[in-house]
Amino acid sequence: KASGQSWGSVETMKRVLESLNLNIVEMVDENATLDGGDVLFTGREFFVGLSRRTNQRGAEILADTFKDYAVSTVPVHDSLHLKSFCSMAGPNLIAIGSSEAAQKALKTMQQMSDHRYDKLTVPDDAAANCIYLNIPSKGHVLLHRAPEEYPESAKVFEKLKDHMLIPIANTELEKVDGSLTCCSVLINKTSEL
């Protein structure tokens, strides 16, 4: 069971994924917790935030499941999860907030990785939670927090000239700890779905 999730929402998501014929791995260790908000997949490796909702055992199960990818843990302090202040903004680009906690986590990720990622630093941690999509007919697409919510961070995103930028207002969901990545499930499937 994912931490912070009701059993009903887990079962509902399981049924949806099964209907798409996707492989499902269930964590059966009662001591393991793993929240999607703590899992950052870069396309090369996983970074797993150790937070109130994710523990070391959950990270170990992820590593056992995805043996072809490196899995590194990152302590998360002063935030709900890892993606509360960072996410992927492009194929090699990490969006990161400016807070001390965010910058410390980024330093840990840089030390753990053999790869050097580009970084896009935004003034507001919450605005660093964005959704990158590579859509064949559109190219690089980035869903990010709206300028009326985080104007200074929106200015940073606007510098990404090779991205189609889609601002999303998320103020109401943010009040209940819902960020853009919390409200989405990205599935890389063909159009036959």
3-state secondary structure 74-133: EECCCCCCHHHCEEEEECCEEEEECCHHHHHHHHHHHHHCCCCCEEEEECCHHHHCCEEE
Contact 83, 37 (CB under 8 A): yes
* Cα distance between residue 180 and residue 143, in whole Å: 8
* Cα distance between residue 90 and residue 131, in whole Å: 9
Q: What is the DSSP letter of 41?
A: E
What is the three-class DSSP state of 45?
strand
Question: Which residues are identified as catalytic?
Answer: 81, 182
**How far, CA to CA in Å, does 91 sit from each of 15, 44, 126, 182?**
30, 9, 20, 20
* Cα distance between residue 21 and residue 1, in whole Å: 20
